[in-house]
Structure 1
Amino acid sequence: MIVTQVHQRDVVDVLLAQHEEIKALFSRVAAAQGDRKREQFYDLVRLLAVHESAEEQLVHPAARKAIGEGNERIVDERLHEEAEAKRTLSDLYDLGVDHPEFNDRLTLLAENVVAHATNEEREEFPLLRSHVGPERLQRMASVFEAAEQAAPTRPHPSAGESATANIVFGPPLALFDKVRDALRKS
């Protein structure tokens, strides 16, 4: 009897898939016009906000623990990049897709977000896979997806990037964001 091992999706798989989706959304927003551009941008904002919030609650703390002392800079640099992206995304959201500077600022944000994702993929994700067991990484995928359900759908740069800040401020901000989302759609 031949036994084949089926690879169950783990948190790194989820993150990699979302990175690809984020890259595709940047392209779709850049190519769209009018209401379609606005809708695509709102989709991008939502995905980036929930992705980063869940990463800050779960992935970065696990990576920090896994890599040990002396390598904290890897996580610290990712958190700094995320803080910058949140501020830029929030400013871009306030600016609106019809603003003459929107496309240039979107291009710069896309470059920074792709560089951030590349840094995670090269530095942080391999450390997770080498220091965290596969069963835990698979459980983390479920927890990550649950954290996304409770995450804000807009960037809130002033809330902070720590796991604690996301746990404390995330649910009330998420509720506020979801009410705004519902009003926008009505």
Structure 2
Amino acid sequence: MPSPESLLRVLRRQHAYIASLVFRVTVSSGQERESAVADLLHYVALHESAEQTFMHPVALKSVGDLAAVQGRVAEEREIEAVITHLEGLDTASMDFMIYFGLLEEALNGHTRAEEDVEARTIGDAVAEADVQSMARDLELVDAWMDPATHSIGGSVAQLPWSPGQRNGARFEELSRKSLEAFAAVSRIR
């Protein structure tokens, strides 16, 4: 029987990193908070785009419980909507803190559901080799976020690869370019 452990390891590590970025936003202020928000949104854009490219399509074709996957996709759309609103707010404002609290809650629920429901459902339905391949593909997120290896797909979609290079790119643009880059990687493989 296939096991979701390789996929769960990657998801847990990336989700823990997201939680650390969320914490960094909550304990910072001023320019440091703005930088922390940019780092968080950049990582979330890459992470969710990788899941949409490598994980959800396989799950939608393979699992018996489509609601487990469709629920995660719906949660991602809700997260994107909160982020879109959040991006227009002053990071020192009360409105920002309210929407950031909503984002934190949505991310926590979403990451738990991916680990507890979707990854386990995939592990039950997909061959071990496919689960391991999916885990390796998701690890591209970490490679792209590491400035030392940012060249992996730089020419594919012209994505600003490191958080410091975001240059005002909005979440929607980061997500779109991330999806383009991951789709190119998917076609190559």
TM-score after normalising by structure 1: 0.72
CA contact (8 A) 1:64 1:75 kept: yes
Alignment of 1:53-68 (within 5 A): 53-68=49-64
Q: Which range moves more in the overlay, 19-28 or 42-51?
A: 19-28
Q: Which range moves more in the overlay, 97-106 or 37-46?
A: 97-106
Aligned position for 1:27: 23
Structure 2 unaligned spans of 5+? 145-152, 161-169, 182-189
- CA positional deviation for 1:124: 0.5
- CA positional deviation for 1:144: 2.4
SS state at 1:13 partner: helix
Aligned position for 1:5: none
Identity %: 29
CA distance in 2, matches of 1:166, 1:45: 12
- CA positional deviation for 1:12: 2.7
CA distance in 1, matches of 2:35, 2:178: 26
CA distance in 2, matches of 1:166, 1:65: 22
Q: Which range moves more in the overlay, 96-105 or 147-156?
A: 147-156
The one-letter code matched in structure 1 to 2:172 is H
Residue number among 76, 92, 99 corresponding to 1:98 in the alignment:
92
Aligned position for 1:184: none
Residue 104 of structure 2 is aligned to residue 110 of structure 1: yes
CA distance in 2, matches of 1:18, 1:57: 16
Structure 1 unaligned spans of 5+? 1-8, 172-186
- CA positional deviation for 1:98: 2.7
Residue 60 of structure 2 is aligned to residue 44 of structure 1: no
CA contact (8 A) 1:57 1:166 kept: no
CA contact (8 A) 2:82 2:102 kept: no
CA contact (8 A) 2:72 2:110 kept: yes
* RMSD, aligned α-carbons: 2.7
CA contact (8 A) 2:54 2:138 kept: yes
CA distance in 2, matches of 1:59, 1:147: 13
Alignment length (residue pairs):
155
Aligned position for 1:145: 139
CA distance in 2, matches of 1:100, 1:123: 34
The C-alpha deviation readout for 1:94-132, integer Å capped at 9, x for no partner, is: 213133311111011101110111111221011122222
Residue number among 96, 121, 127 corresponding to 1:127 in the alignment:
121
Q: Whose Rg is larger? A: 1
